[in-house]
Structures are given as C-alpha cells and as structure tokens.
C-alpha cells in the first residue's frame, strides 16, 4: 500500500512538472515571438513611431518608403530626437520596401498595419485600395495614426472583420530633408478601438480592446515614449480638431505661422477663434463636451518665439496635397447634419477646396476645361 502511495505521489509530481514546463515553454515562445508591424507613411511621425516600436524589441518593423527610399536604403535615417537621443545615424527598420506588399498568397502576414500618411481621401488612388492586398480578415489590426474626424468609417466599411484602432499623435516632428528627422516635442500617443454601433458586440469589443492594449504595450516597450490606451479616443480627436481645423487651415490659406497670427490679432479674432468656437459647438451637438477654456488654451499653446508653421501650412508652401477633407470638411458636414451654424468653417473649406484644385492641376490630375455640362459655361 505504501509503495502504491509513493508511486501515485511520484506520478502527481511528474504530471505537475510537465504541466508547469509546458506552460512556461508556451509562455516563453509567446514572449519571444515578435509582432509583425507594417508602417505605411514614413514621414516624420511615421518614422518616429517605427523607431519607438522597433526599439522596444517586441516587434519587427517593415516600412514602406516612397520619396526617401533611396536615401534611407543607402544611408539610413538621421534622427535628432528629444526622446531617443541626438545624432542618431544610419537607423533603418528591419525591412524597407518601395511599395505596399501583396500578401494575398499567404506568403507574409502582419499583425498590425500602422497608417501614418497624410490623409487626402480626395486624391486617387485611395489608401484603402492600396492597403487591401496586405489585410487578412480577422487577423490584421489597422492602426490609423492620421489627423481628422471620421477617418475610421471607410476602413470599417471595407474591412468589417478587422480591428480598427484610432490613434491620435501629440508629437512635434518634421522631416527637414529626405531621411533627416528632427523630433522636438515628446512622443505622446493615444490609442483606442474605433467604436462602431454596427459591430459593437461585447465579444468583438473585448478583442478590439485586447489588441489595442497589446499595441500600446509594443509601442511603450522602448521605455522612452508615452503611448496611452484611450477608452474615448473620439473625444481626443475632437479635442485636437479644435487646433487643427483652425490654425492648420488658416496657415495654409495665408502662408502664415502661428506667431504672426497672434501678432496680427485680427487674424485670431476674425478667423482662428471663430473656427475654434464653431468646432466646440459642433462637438457639443454631437455629444462631446469639450472644456470651455480650450480655444484660448490652444491659441496660446505654442511659444511666441517658435514661429511655428503648422503642417498644412508647410504642405501649401511645398505644393503638396492638403489634408483638409477630414480636418475641415468632415466637421462641416457633421454641422450640417446637426443643424449647427458654421459660416467661418464653411468659407475656409471652400477656399481650401479651391487651393487643392490648383495643386491637382499643377500635378496633372485636373485639366481646366469648361465642359458643356458646366452650369457657368454661359
């Protein structure tokens, strides 16, 4: 009887050991498996996001480069970063590509695709069409790190089986020349799942939240940035829109930095502040209550010594496409649906739309011809 007890105890110890060993082997394998992350849009913001993600050691970054491909291929990126250090030379993501890969044959699978391009849905081809070959249903999580309102909706319509994460970056960075990045304001990023009532099933929400938190973990692993899980990322989008819809659009139209706008007070009084107040009113009608002191906070948020030119102003000077549709057009359309007056925003939208037409014309996308169907043909 004693022998049988000893054998039973030995078997119990052996089984416990095997279970524990299997658990730790599985856990270790899971920890060792690096996430596959594809970054589309390697300007200043995309590059710094890719740098943080790869530096954390929990992911392998594949980056799609366009105009700066040759420089980065030969010399790597040169980065001067407030978070990661000065004079970083020769840095490259794990893999760099000229174009978005086609993964429909199953040869490659990405856990996350980070989209950090300029948001210009009015310029063909659409980003949704470009990334479709890399999206695997129920597997690929799409992280939209772009400016503006309602940017997630077309992605949800095209990819209903995939998690869509909405990301708002509060970072100061610019590409001063091809492959050279100056990162001068800390990397603060807020990430949350896009909350869509059509797919708002509890089980799906849990999956989306888990994937969002995992991405935050990957991003923060380098220990030098501040990526936060945001349960109400749409509030954050409206919050940032107060600045972007006003300062960005006016800088593009006037070719003026924010310091000059404050020097010539009438620019703030007649244009910037009214747009901010209109965005506040539209957000309130949409159920998003923003702090009442937000307009004045944003009007004075930049140092008067910085002579800071917002990104849309920089794009206008360079002759690049303007990302105004989601920054100005979408809040204007929300205002129309909610019957909220927005006269300044509407006028600014018309001006930006005209500027975009001229840019498209200069790039050969539009030809100025008076068609027979033109109602102003005369």
% the chain with pLDDT above 70: 89
Q: Tokens 């594949």: give the residue.
A: 62
Strand-pair category, 180-193 with 35-40? unpaired
pLDDT of the residue at 373: 87
pLDDT digits (tens, 9 = 90+) for 310-350: 999 999 999 999 999 999 999 999 999 999 999 999 999 99
Categorize the per-residue pLDDT at 372 as very low, low, confident or very high, splitting at 50, 70 and 90: confident
Q: Which of 302, 303, 293, 251 is nearest to 272 (CA)?
A: 251
Fold that domain 235-362 belongs to in CATH: 1.10.1040
pLDDT of the residue at 145: 94
Cβ–Cβ < 8 Å for 275, 227? no
Cβ–Cβ < 8 Å for 82, 186? yes
pLDDT of the residue at 203: 54
CATH architecture of 34-231: 3-Layer(aba) Sandwich (3.40)
139: Cα separation from own chain's centroid: 20
368: Cα separation from own chain's centroid: 34
Q: Using CA atoms, how far apart are residues 340 and 275, in angstroms rounded to an integer?
A: 13
Q: Provide the whole-model pTM.
A: 0.85
Across the chain, mean pLDDT equals: 90
Domain boundaries of the chain, sorted by first residue? 34-231, 235-362
């Amino acid at each position: 009887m004693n022998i049988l007890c000893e054998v039973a105890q030995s078997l119990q110890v052996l089984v416990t050991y095997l279970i524990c060993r299997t658990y730790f082997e599985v856990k270790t394998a899971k920890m060792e498996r690096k996430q596959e992350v594809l970054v589309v849009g390697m300007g200043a913001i995309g590059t710094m996001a890719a740098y943080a993600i790869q530096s954390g050691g929990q992911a392998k970054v594949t980056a799609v480069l366009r105009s700066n491909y040759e420089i980065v291929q030969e010399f790597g990126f040169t980065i001067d970063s407030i978070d990661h250090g000065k004079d970083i030379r020769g840095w490259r993501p794990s893999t760099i590509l000229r174009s978005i890969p086609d993964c429909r044959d199953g040869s490659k699978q990405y856990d996350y695709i980070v989209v950090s391009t300029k948001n210009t849905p009015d310029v063909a081809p659409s980003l949704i069409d470009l990334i479709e070959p890399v999206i695997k249903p129920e597997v690929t999580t799409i992280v939209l790190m772009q400016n503006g309102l309602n940017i997630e909706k077309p992605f949800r319509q095209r990819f209903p089986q995939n998690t869509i994460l909405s990301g708002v970056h509060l970072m100061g960075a610019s590409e001063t020349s091809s492959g050279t990045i100056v990162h001068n304001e800390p990397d603060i990023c807020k990430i949350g799942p896009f909350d869509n009532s059509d797919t708002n099933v509890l089980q799906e929400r849990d999956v989306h939240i888990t994937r969002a938190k995992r991405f935050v973990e990957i991003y923060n692993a380098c220990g030098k940035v501040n990526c936060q899980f945001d349960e109400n990322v749409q509030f954050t989008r409206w919050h940032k829109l107060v600045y972007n819809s006003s300062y960005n659009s006016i800088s593009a139209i006037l070719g003026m930095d924010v310091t000059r706008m404050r020097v010539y007070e009438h620019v703030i009084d007649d244009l910037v502040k009214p747009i901010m107040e209109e965005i506040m009113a539209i957000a309130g009608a949409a159920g998003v209550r923003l702090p009442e002191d937000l307009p004045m906070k944003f009007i004075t948020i930049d140092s008067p010594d910085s002579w800071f030119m917002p990104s849309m102003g920089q794009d206008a000077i360079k002759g690049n496409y303007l990302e105004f549709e989601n920054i100005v057009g979408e809040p204007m359309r929300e205002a129309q649906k909610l019957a909220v007056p927005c006269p300044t925003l509407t006028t600014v939208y018309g001006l930006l739309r005209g500027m975009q037409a001229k840019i498209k014309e200069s790039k050969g996308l539009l030809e100025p011809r008076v068609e027979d169907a033109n109602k102003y043909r005369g």
